Amino acid sequence: MAWDFETDPEFQEKLDWVDRFVREECEPLDLAFPHLQFHPLTPERRSVIDPLKEEVKRQGLWATHLGPELGGQGYGQLKLALLNEILGRSLWSSIVFGCQAPDTGNAEIIAHYGTAEQKEKYLQPLLDGECFSSYSMTEPHAGADPTLFKCRAHKDGDEWVINGWKYFSSNAKTASFLIVMAVTDPEVSAYQGMSMFLVPTDTPGIKIERNVGLWGEELNQGSHALIHYDEVRVPADNLLGGEGQAFAIAQTRLGGGRIHHAMRTIAVSQKALDMMCERALSREVSGGKLAEKQFVQGYIADSYAQLIQFRLFVLYTAWEIDKYNDYKKVRKDIAVAKVVMPTVLHDIAWRAMQVHGALGTTNEMPFFGMVHSAGVMGLADGPTEVHKVTIARQVLRNYEATDGMWPTQWIPGKVEAAKAKFAHVLELEVGNL
Ligand SMILES: Cc1cc2nc3c(=O)[nH]c(=O)nc-3n(C[C@H](O)[C@H](O)[C@H](O)COP(=O)(O)OP(=O)(O)OC[C@H]3O[C@@H](n4cnc5c(N)ncnc54)[C@H](O)[C@@H]3O)c2cc1C
């Protein structure tokens, strides 16, 4: 009967260490060095960050998303889920633990599809935490539907030449290289006609037109680049995977990434619930504490119920990934986690904000940022609606149409069938009455 909700005591000890370390060492970094996680380290910041990274390495917790062949622990997704639900408390923690998105997903696909030379040049510095990377797929006119992408790459001798626009290439401004998705054969279906390229950011012809910011950030000071690729030339061996393999690569990349976001969202939602409870127990209103008011009790109960369901589902999905070792098999449940995630965070953060009154809406508390990031989560890595379509399609695969006039569960028909099945008993019973 292997259906276990307990953590190995040995791993729990590690989690307890991580919990203390994130609270004491990483959360203060978010306040001292806000929005600087993806900037190269200055000597001053390096003097703080490097010793923390060293401590994480000593604990055997560096880049735990990687298999042992790449210097990670090969923990698998379930352990990673338990770890990430702590790391998600702080934005800096994933840098300190060597597991920051989008570099994790980018490293994953180079490890999977890259040649030995590509791994040495692009993967190793990423794994060492010494550079950043950017994933350049979305275009200004098309995002959710990649079959509409126009950015082109054509072969010229032993070089590929890339032309087109990309939008929302996160961290491009500080990245050392970009992974660019481009149409290489417009004559075939988009699923066979697009390829991925490894492109150093200092290649001539790359122009960041704007660094688009999210709400609240200064105009043009954000992290999401609008990029013009104008006759950008890379050697033929900068092709990642085979020609026409971009879709397959993109699927590999997003499978892991989506579930990691869900894991970290548990941490943020838990943080909002913790703050809601503390405030409810502390704030006096007419006739007693907020915690004694049924509306507020409802907020707390609903939040706990949403969070515990989400957490168990994310852990279950992580367990499925480890069990099947095949993202395709778990695609539906990864999509469910992706779809549920923004709502859970939004609802809990919104209630926590409400319980804090005016203070909750200010830039002195984190709630509005959480609500905003819930909105962002409904888009990054694909809009909720598109994932719902995936879920529905996969669910429908288990069903078939009925060709009769009535549904198979039509009660009069079922009653007739049941009566026919037990006709001999029913006749006797009638006879005995
Ligand atoms: C914070 C953040 C970081 C990002 N980072 C990156 C990155 O690093 N690299 C990168 O390439 N991209 C990145 N993206 C882009 C992201 O992948 C796209 O925003 C996403 O795929 C949606 O594309 P779009 O914004 O063009 O929306 P559109 O494709 O224009 O869709 C708009 C809306 O239309 C609706 N819709 C679309 N399709 C359907 C459908 N089939 N059925 C029903 N409704 C539909 C949905 O409501 C959707 O939200 C990032 C986005 C955000 C917000």
State pLDDT tens for residues 166-221. Answer: 999 999 999 999 999 999 999 999 999 999 999 999 999 999 999 999 998 999 99
- 259 Cβ contact list (under 8 Å, min separation 6): 77, 81, 314, 317, 318, 321, 334, 337
pLDDT computed for residue 198 by the predictor: 98
Give pLDDT, residue 260.
84
Hey, what are 413's tokens? 């028909």
Question: pLDDT class for 55, splitting at 50, 70, 90?
Answer: very high
- As for ligand 1, residues whose beta carbon falls within 6 Å of it are 102, 135-138, 143-144, 168-170, 224, 376, 379-383, 385-386, 389
Residue 431: predicted pLDDT: 61
The atom number, within ligand 1, closest to the CA of 145 reads 29
**Ligand 1 center to 404 CA (angstroms):** 41
CA angle 129–176–221, rounded 5-degree value: 100
CA torsion 419-425-427-430 (nearest 10°) is -100
Q: What pLDDT sits at residue 432?
A: 58
CA dihedral sign, ordered 256, 257, 262, 263: positive
CA 140 to ligand 1: nearest atom:
26
Query: Among the atoms of ligand 1, which is closest to the Cα of residue 181?
Result: 11
Comparison of pLDDT for 76 and 254, the residue scoring more? 76
Choose which residue among 168, 223, 377 to substitute to test ligand 1 binding: the one with the highest number of ligand atoms within 8 A of its C-beta: 168
pLDDT at 378: 96
Report CA(202)–ligand 1 centroid distance (Å): 27
Q: How far is the CA of 57 from the centre of ligand 1 (A)?
A: 36
Provide the 10 A C-beta neighbour count for residue 145.
Answer: 10
Q: For residue 404, is pLDDT > 60?
A: yes
Domains of the chain: 9-100 (1.10.540.10), 133-240 (2.40.110.10), 248-396 (1.20.140.10)
Residue 135: pLDDT band by 50, 70, 90 thresholds?
A: very high
Q: Can you say how many angstroms the Cα of residue 418 is from the centroid of all Cα atoms in its chain?
A: 49
Q: Among 60-69, 298-307, 415-424, which stretch is predicted with the lowest mean pLDDT?
A: 60-69
Q: Do strands 133-136 and 177-183 pair parallel, antiparallel, or not at all (unpaired)? A: parallel
Distance of CA 382 from the midpoint of ligand 1 (Å): 5
Least confident residue range of 164-178, 223-237, 295-309, 321-335: 321-335
pLDDT value at position 68? 81
- The predicted model gives 140-164 an average pLDDT of 96
Query: In degrees rounded to 5, what are phi and psi of residue 166?
Result: -135, 150
Average pLDDT value for the chain: 94
pLDDT tens for residues 67-119?
A: 887 777 888 899 999 999 999 999 999 999 999 988 988 998 998 899 999 99
With pLDDT > 90 as the criterion, what percentage of the chain qualifies?
Answer: 85
Q: For helices 246-282 and 77-87, what crossing angle results, to 10°?
A: 50
389 C-alpha to ligand 1 centroid (Å): 14
Assess contact for 49 and 62: CB atoms under 8 A. no
Helices 367-377 and 331-355 sit at what angle, rounded to 10 degrees?
Answer: 160
Q: Which residue of 104, 169, 379, 388 sits with most ligand 1 atoms within 8 Å of its CB, as the best mutation to test the pocket?
A: 379
Q: Whose CA is nearest to atom 52 of ligand 1?
A: 380
What mean pLDDT comes out for the span 224-253? Answer: 94
Chain segment 317-370, per-residue pLDDT in tens: 999 999 998 888 999 999 999 999 999 999 999 999 999 999 999 999 999 999
pLDDT band at 54 (very low <50, low <70, confident <90, very high): very high
Query: 422: CA distance to ligand 1 center in Å?
Result: 57
Report the distance separating Cα 333 and Cα 317, nearest Å.
6
Query: How much is the pLDDT for 433?
Result: 53
Instruction: Report which protein residue has its CA nearest ligand 1's atom 43.
Output: 385
Give the nearest ligand 1 atom to 141 CA.
26
C-alpha to C-alpha distances, 409 to 186, 397, 412, nearest whole angstrom: 48, 19, 9
pTM: 0.92
**pLDDT at 430 (0 to 100):** 67
Give the model's pLDDT for residue 69: 79
